[in-house]
């Protein structure tokens, strides 16, 4: 048997452990599992833990493992599962026995009061790992889309693009549309790039023009037309009121009148 190693972890009651609580330590070469209490390696811990005064169930609970966590090496678990599955499919009486047992378990669970005990640390750690993996995936997708947008804009980094576009008069709306960033992320990126955001009411000619173009593009998309001015003129000539046109484009009557006059 391999030599054991010293206590590197411990339980809340001070019991020294040879493996991290809340998880099973697996030997890479053989797939054997490390006993938390003595540090020895076994293909099956379920029978070994009896020497420490535990059943498989109490061992899982004490070490913070999931209730149904296998205490056997993966190769042994696979062999047992395949052997049991073969016997189940061959033996009709065994299938009937399992069906009766499953029905009794469902009845017992249906009448049992809800459990209020804490989740085992292993399950908590797995759920957190899954959540973090999801966050990492979303962040990676966002970063990939941002890189593609910046490449089409002719910039390698977001900082370079913001330092070039914003001081030149681009509005926050146009920057958000170009980069696909929300307002909060865009402002944070400006702060990281050391770019001071213009005060509200401080407009530039380029900024006003950018907002006007954005507003017109949104209105045209809402109406499903490439010629917003032509669409407005045609409806106006057909007798539409400014109020009706404003409701259609999603702007004020003043904006509609300005757009009709602008040509």
Residue 9: what are its φ and ψ, rounded to 5°? -135, 170
Look up tokens 């259609």; give the residue.
248
In a domain, 141, yes or no: yes
List, for residues 199-253, the tens digit of each pLDDT value.
Answer: 765 566 666 676 777 788 888 888 899 899 999 999 999 999 999 998 998 888 8
List the domain range (segments joined by +) for residue 150.
Answer: 123-192
In a domain, 99, yes or no: no
List, for residues 40-90, the tens digit of each pLDDT value.
Answer: 999 999 889 999 999 999 999 999 999 888 899 888 878 888 888 888 888
Burial class of 216 by CB neighbour count within 10 A (0 to 12, 13 to 18, 19+): middle
Closest alpha carbon to 227 in 185, 186, 189, 259: 259
In a domain, 113, yes or no: no
In a domain, 109, yes or no: no
- Structural domains counted in the chain: 3
State if pTM tops 0.85.
no
């Amino acid at each position: 048997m391999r030599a054991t190693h010293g206590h590197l972890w411990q339980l809340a009651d001070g019991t020294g452990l040879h493996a991290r609580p809340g998880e099973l330590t697996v030997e890479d070469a053989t797939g054997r599992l490390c006993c938390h209490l003595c540090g020895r390696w076994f293909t099956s811990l379920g029978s070994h833990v009896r020497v420490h005064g535990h059943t498989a169930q109490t061992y899982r609970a004490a070490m913070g493992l999931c209730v149904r966590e296998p205490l056997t090496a993966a190769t042994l678990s696979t062999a047992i599962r395949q052997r049991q599955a073969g016997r189940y499919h061959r033996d009709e009486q065994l299938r009937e026995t399992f069906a009766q047992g499953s029905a009794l378990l469902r009845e017992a669970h249906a009448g049992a009061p809800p459990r209020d005990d804490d989740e085992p640390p292993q399950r908590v750690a797995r759920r957190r790992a899954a959540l973090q993996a999801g966050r990492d995936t979303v962040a990676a997708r966002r970063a990939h889309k941002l890189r593609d947008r910046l490449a089409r804009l002719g910039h390698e980094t977001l900082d370079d693009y913001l330092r070039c576009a914003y001081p030149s008069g681009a509005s926050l709306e146009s920057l958000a549309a170009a980069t696909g960033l929300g307002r909060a992320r865009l402002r944070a990126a400006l702060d990281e790039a050391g770019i001071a955001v213009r005060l509200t009411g401080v407009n530039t000619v380029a900024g006003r023009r950018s907002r006007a173009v954005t507003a017109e593009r949104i209105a045209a998309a809402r109406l499903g037309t490439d010629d917003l001015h032509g669409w407005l003129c045609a409806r106006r000539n057909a007798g539409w009121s400014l109020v009706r046109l404003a409701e259609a484009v999603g702007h004020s009557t003043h904006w509609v009148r300005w757009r009709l006059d602008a040509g």
